[in-house]
């Protein structure tokens, strides 16, 4: 199946710093990428949908100025957590989809564990 990578796999940072997470589709072109966050023993919560070359669509309650998303190419999307605080500590997972019909499978990255001290 299609492979999606994320980098870094885990990051520890000080409060107030910014952290960038990369999501890459390795063997297919992703017209749409999704960013999720997941707390322990909880479901994936969709943060935003990003389409290549256009602005991301954020879910209600997600601060777009805090979670900057850039989908500059068909194989790369980045999520930047700006001025991170301890409450931003979570497991961030991206997924990528190849087409636009809605039926296509989402392929998930391995996730990035963020710990803000």
Partner 1 sequence: SQKIEQNSEALNIQEGKTATLTCNYTNYSPAYLQWYRQDPGRGPVFLLLIRENEKEKRKERLKVTFDTTLKQSLFHITASQPADSATYLCALQTNAGKSTFGDGTTLTVKP
Mark the segment that binds partner 1 (CB under 8 A) among 11-19, 40-48, 60-68, 72-80.
Answer: 40-48
Q: How many residues bind partner 1 (CB under 8 A)?
A: 28
What's the closest the beta carbon of residue 47 comes to partner 1, in angstroms? 12
Which residues, 6 or more positions from 44, have their beta carbon under 8 angstroms from its beta carbon?
36, 37, 38, 93
Cα torsion 79, 82, 85, 89 to 10°: value is 10
Mark the segment that binds partner 1 (CB under 8 A) among 11-19, 60-68, 75-83, 105-113.
Answer: 105-113
Toward partner 1, which CB reaches closer, 38 or 82?
38
DSSP 9-61: SEEEE-TT--EEEEEEESSS--SEEEEEEE-TTS-EEEEEEEETTSPPEEPTT
The one among 70, 80, 89, 106 contacting partner 1 by CB under 8 A: 106
Site track 5-24 with partner 1 (rule: CB under 8 A), x = hit: -x------------------
């Amino acid at each position: 199946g299609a492979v999606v990578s994320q980098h870094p796999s885990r990051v520890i940072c000080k409060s107030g710093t910014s952290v960038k997470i990369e999501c890459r589709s390795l063997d297919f072109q992703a017209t749409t990428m999704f960013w999720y966050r997941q707390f322990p023993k909880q479901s994936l919560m969709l943060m935003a949908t990003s389409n290549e070359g256009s602005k991301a669509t954020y879910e209600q309650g997600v601060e777009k100025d805090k979670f900057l998303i850039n989908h500059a190419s068909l194989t790369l999307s980045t999520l930047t957590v700006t001025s991170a605080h301890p409450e931003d500590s979570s497991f961030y997972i991206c997924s990528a989809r190849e087409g636009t019909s809605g039926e296509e499978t989402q392929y998930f990255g391995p996730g990035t564990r963020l710990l803000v001290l």
